[in-house]
Structure 1
Amino acid sequence: MTDAAPPREVKTLYVAEAEDGIRLDRWFKRRWPHLSHIQIEKLARSGQIRVDGSRAKPQDRLTAGAAVRVPPIPDPRVRDPADKPRISDRDAAYAKSLVLYEDDLVIALNKPAGLAVQGGTKTTKHVDRLLSAWGEGMDRPRLVHRLDRDTSGVLLLGKGPEAAKRLAGAFARRQAKKTYWAIVIGNPKPAAGQIDLALKKSGINDFEIMRPADPKEHGAEPAETAYVMLSRAAHRAAWMALRPFTGRTHQLRAHMAAIGHPILGDPKYGTPESAELSGPLKLQLHARRIELDHPGGGKLIVEAPLGPEMKAGFAHFGFSEDEADPDPFHGVKRMR
């Protein structure tokens, strides 16, 4: 069941059978694409969103038949007076400088490492805020997926509710082919393969970490990643292409650490050995390429050039980005 118009009163909607396992925030975004992640978080944090009568977090997964309390949803055409004022001309120019591709329905940004996608209690400059550079209300682009703060690369946005809905749906259905580049310690063997290892979130806030878990363990989520070694620097380090088939928090970082080859420059999932090899290098993880159906028809393929953090890693180990196959995962499919 879907609700096209924003409800003006509290409603109870039920999770469809086909939506079993969907995250709460994605369930809301499917119905009201104009809602920002921050708005959904506020509604959940204040207890206005409830699932089967209980408070819920945006990342909680829903089960078929669950009753979701839906509070009045802000009209996309009306700007909330509590919203922060428009960004400065300088910030707007900065946002526009990140554009890799733009048309009437889609914007692709090259997100730099260190810039958060969404805000938090200690984060005031983030991509979601910078989207005011394109306008407010219906003119404001919508986030349709996320990247970690310290991961650089392609970030897609939808222009208008319908385009955002179609893009978000492609990510939710795992139809987007994402290729990441990473530099890891050592040489994975075999040089190409797939990691099928469930992950579970442990800890809180800044100490939150994803750890390997038994698939039957409460809170464990299935996670699948394909990998291919593109080049290596003797036995010290390897340049990897990574393709996540699922979208778990820190999935690539946790999976590479789990097989004994943590990504360099990663303070959370690294080891003393990888930290020593990393030296001053920042996180060596870059969202290089995204391929998916364009909401207006045809294919959309966007690639992001390396940022200064990854360039430093490539220079240090002698890798050259022009040596890589644009799609090293051609023909590779999920294991299950």
Structure 2
Amino acid sequence: MNKAVTTEQRQVQWQSIDDGHAGQRIDNYLIAQLKGVPKSLVYRILRKGEVRVNKKRCKPDYKLQVGDQVRIPPVKVQEKAPLPSSKLEQVQQLESAILYEDDAFMVINKPSGMAVHGGSGLQFGLIEGLRALRPNSKQLELVHRLDRDTSGLLLVAKKRSMLRVLHQQLRDKQVDKRYLALVRGQWQKTTRKVAAPLKKNTLQSGERIVRVDEQGKPSETAFRIYRRYAEATLVEASPITGRTHQIRVHTLHAGHPIAGDPKYGDQKFDQMMTERGLNRLFLHAWQLRFNHPKTGKAMQFEAPLDTVLETVLSRLTVM
């Protein structure tokens, strides 16, 4: 597969806004249109007035309307890497991971080890694989994300208008996401919620890590005990906010790191779980509830733990 190459957009573009992009902020629209262009450059051309809507300057928070004529100046953009072949085994396996699909969205049971999108040395991720499988669905977009090592339910919008509705549901806390995590030790009954601000950090090695930090963003996760074992606890985690690595860092903050976590785990506990057959992060998005973006109907999906995770649990002593 060819790597993406940088090219220069040498002509001014004029784009007409349809209902698929109506209501979207101009800055977010430009970021999506100019993939490969740094966000700082997008805001610079907006600030300088090089971007025009109906021949007038506009602010980054301007919301586009149907029929708006958007002028985009010549900028350096990165060509999109070609989609993977739909015949690749890893892509074909995604077909069986689709739990539900209609003309508005798809629900995927994402396998552990697959990134949700390409980049950082990856040729492609789940969203590129789905676009290869559904070449006629031109507007497939992730509604939310899962860490590469986390498995489970993931929501993908098939239209821009549906993405907007689902994002609004996320903002309004109308999307209920529940995860199962196997954590070290005995989770306390009294720990029903962890509220700890989280901040992203980059280590000298270049590795990105999230830590509890008073200067970080407010973050909150609800927990309940699902099943107790002599060596560990299976907990259900419901993120109230949606920060990077939130559940993984909040369980660590509570004194109970997740089994098999290479960034935030406990080496001794992980070794014990490896001996019981665990070869991955024990974090799985098992339940998802939201309202259908088109009909408003309440939707609920469940994805049971896979065979590997169930086998690990079967080798633990139930309390």
TM (norm. structure 1) is 0.71
Per the TM alignment, residue 167 of structure 1 is displaced from its structure 2 partner at its CA by: 1.5
Question: What residue in structure 2 maps to residue 221 of structure 1?
Answer: 217
How far did residue 8 of structure 1 move?
Answer: 4.4
Q: 1:245 aligns with which of 240, 250, 254?
A: 240
Equivalent residues of 2:83, 2:124 under 8 A apart: no
1:250–1:67: structure 2 CA closer, same or farther, 3 Å change rule?
same
Correspondence for 1:96: 95
Structure 1: distance between partners of 2:138 and 2:27: 17
Q: Tell me the distance in 2 between the aligned counterparts of 1:233 and 1:106.
A: 38
C-alpha contact (below 8 Å) 2:27/2:42 kept by paired residues: no
Is the contact between residue 181 and residue 234 of structure 2 (CA under 8 Å) also seen in structure 1? yes
- CA positional deviation for 1:174: 2.7
Aligned partner of 1:295 in structure 2 is 293
- Counterparts in 2 of 1:288 and 1:210: CA distance versus 1, 3 Å: same
Matches within 5 A, 1:132-211: 132-136=131-135, 138-190=137-189, 192-204=191-203, 207-211=207-211
**1:76-97, Cα deviation, whole Å (9 max, x unpaired):** xxxx974404523245532211
Whole-Å Cα distance in 2 between the matches of residues 271 and 116 of structure 1?
23
Distance apart, 1:129 and its partner CA:
1.0
SS at match of 2:37: helix
Which amino acid letter does the alignment assign opposite residue 210 of structure 2? M
Residue 238 of structure 1: CA displacement? 0.4
- Aligned pairs for 1:64-83 (under 5 A) are 67=60, 72=72, 82-83=80-81
Q: What's the counterpart of residue 249 of structure 2?
A: 254
Structure 2 vs 1, CA of residues 49 and 313 (structure 1 numbering), >3 Å: closer, same or farther?
Answer: farther
Between the aligned partners of 1:252 and 1:265, the Cα distance in structure 2 is 14
Q: Is the 8 A contact 1:52 1:67 kept in 2?
A: yes
TM-score by length of 2: 0.74
- 1:285 maps to which residue? 283
Matches of 1:192 and 1:305, distance apart in 2: 25
1:188 to partner: Cα distance: 1.5
CA distance in 2, matches of 1:131, 1:28: 27
Instruction: Map 1:321-332 onto structure 2 (within 5 A).
Output: none
In the TM superposition, residue 149 of structure 1 has moved relative to its aligned partner by 0.2
Instruction: Write out per-residue CA displacement over residues 187-216 of structure 1, whole angstroms, 9 at most, x where no aligned residue.
Output: 1112551111111111258621111111xx
Distance 2:213 2:83 in 1: 44
Q: Which amino acid aligns with 2:232?
A: A
* Letter in structure 2 aligned against 1:212: V
Letter of the structure 2 residue corresponding to residue 176 of structure 1: V
Change in CA separation of 1:260 and 1:192 when aligned onto 2, cut-off 3 Å: closer
> Which letter does structure 1 place at the counterpart of 2:249?
A
Q: Which amino acid aligns with 2:253?
A: A
Instruction: Using the TM superposition, give the Cα deviation of residue 178 of structure 1 relative to its aligned residue in structure 2, in angstroms.
Output: 0.6
In structure 2, C-alpha distance between the alignment counterparts of 1:245 and 1:40, rounded to whole Å: 32
Does residue 273 of the first structure (1) align with residue 272 of the second (2)? no
2:118–2:124 CA contact under 8 A, matched in 1: yes
Are 2:184 and 2:256, in contact at CA under 8 Å, matched by a contact in 1?
A: yes
Rounded Cα–Cα distance in structure 2 between residues aligned with 1:131 and 1:49: 31
Alignment CA distance shift 1:311-1:49 (3 Å): farther
State the one-letter code of the partner of 2:213.
A
How far the C-alpha of 1:30 sits from its partner, in A, is 7.0
Cα distance change, pair 272–85 in 1 and its aligned pair in 2 (3 A): closer
Query: SS of 1:48's equivalent?
Result: helix
Q: Show the counterpart of 1:314.
A: 313
Is the CA contact (8 Å cut-off) linking 1:195 and 1:225 kept in structure 2? yes
Work out which of the residue numbers 13, 32, 43 in structure 1 matches 2:37: 43
Moved more, 44-53 or 171-180: 44-53
How far does residue 142 in structure 1 lie from its aligned partner after superposition?
Answer: 1.5
* Structure 2 counterpart of 1:230: 226
1:127 CA displacement? 0.5
Say if 2:179 and 2:236, in contact at 8 Å, map to a contact too. yes
Greater displacement, 310-319 / 239-248: 310-319
Q: In 2, Cα distance between the equivalents of 1:227 and 1:50?
A: 43
2-structure distance, mates of 1:160, 1:29:
19
Once residues 51 and 172 of structure 1 are traced to their aligned partners in structure 2, the CA distance between those partners, rounded to angstroms, is 29
CA RMSD of aligned residues (A): 3.4
Do 1:191 and 1:229's aligned partners in 2 also have CA atoms closer than 8 Å?
no
1:113 correspondence with 2:112: yes
**Structure index of larger Rg:** 2
